[in-house]
Amino acid sequence: MPATARYQLVQLANGVHSVHSVAHRETFHPVIGPVAEADALYVRQLLFLERRNAESGPFVFWDVGLGAAANALTVLRATRTLAGPMRLVSFDQTIEPLQFALQHAEALGYFAGYEDPVRRLLETGRVSFCDGVRPVDWQLHIADFPAFLALPVAQTIPKPHVILFDAFSPARNPAMWTLPLFSDLFRLLDPARPCALPTYSRSTMLRVSLLLAGFFVGAGHATGEKEETTLAANALSLISEPLDRRWLQRARNSTSAEPMCEPVYRQAPLSGRTWARLQEHPQFR
């Protein structure tokens, strides 16, 4: 099946265009559009200026779920006036949605000025270019992300300051939302390098998974589509609204809170063992 049959250009209710995956039956950034969602979820709450100024070397982003590149390009455009090199490492199982999106770059809008770097990224898997006042090195890994994290090559990738986490929903793509995945991801972080991970979900299951993996977890900014999202980090100082013991009690009463340990979507209340582990988390002690 050609990519033009697997993906469609759709116009959202607000007039903005986005990409729809026929196979997953999901639209990328489905309510307010690609740029508005990426700006709300990633740009506004990650304190780029303060964190960039505190770093002398490259600022490293992991872009988990490259998709049609709206997140990556929105962040690049929003930070292009900040001095200092940037390393962007994107991950996905396929380049097809990006190829499709580039064919519709004019309608989507967010490619403006980045068409050539994206073409070279698609051709070679890596591109270096000057963007505003800083150099950018952008690398693409096409792989099964959960399996990739367990490979020795994952240890060689620059440690991130930020992880843009944008996988398809747990119901459609459960392998990307398991406790083992978040545990492997946390182990790859540099404990001496504060790293923030925003994502669009606010589900109790996700938040419990992140906490058990080792992250601190808090409420993230609204996106227009959602009143609240999730912000995780390996440093509590990066979270302005950490989850408290009232949230912990709500999690205990939830019917969908137990993390998935296998890539099979299901919902279940907290087990006794998970409840005990949550109470011992440094965030709640």
Give the model confidence (pLDDT) of 142-165 as tens digits: 999 999 999 999 999 999 999 999
Render pLDDT for 49-83 as a digit per residue (tens, 0 to 9). 788 777 878 999 999 999 999 999 999 999 998 88
> Which CATH number is correct for 30-243, 3.40.50.150, 3.90.420.10, 3.40.50.960, 1.10.150.300?
3.40.50.150
Contact call for residues 263 and 179 (beta carbons, < 8 A):
no
DSSP string, 203-217: -HHHHHHHHHHT-EE
Residue type, 15: G
For residue 61, the cross-strand partners are 88, 162
pTM of the model: 0.94
| C-alpha–C-alpha distance, residues 67 and 28, integer Å | 8
CB neighbour list of residue 187: distance below 8 Å, 6 or more residues apart: 214
Distance of CA 285 to the CA centre of its chain: 28
DSSP string, 74-121: HHHHHTTTS-S-EEEEEEES-SHHHHHHHHTHHHH-TTTT-HHHHHHH
Q: What is the pLDDT of residue 54?
A: 79
For residue 218, the cross-strand partners are 231, 242
Q: What is the pLDDT of residue 1?
A: 47
Render pLDDT for 75-116 as a digit per residue (tens, 0 to 9). 999 999 888 999 999 999 999 999 999 999 999 999 999 999
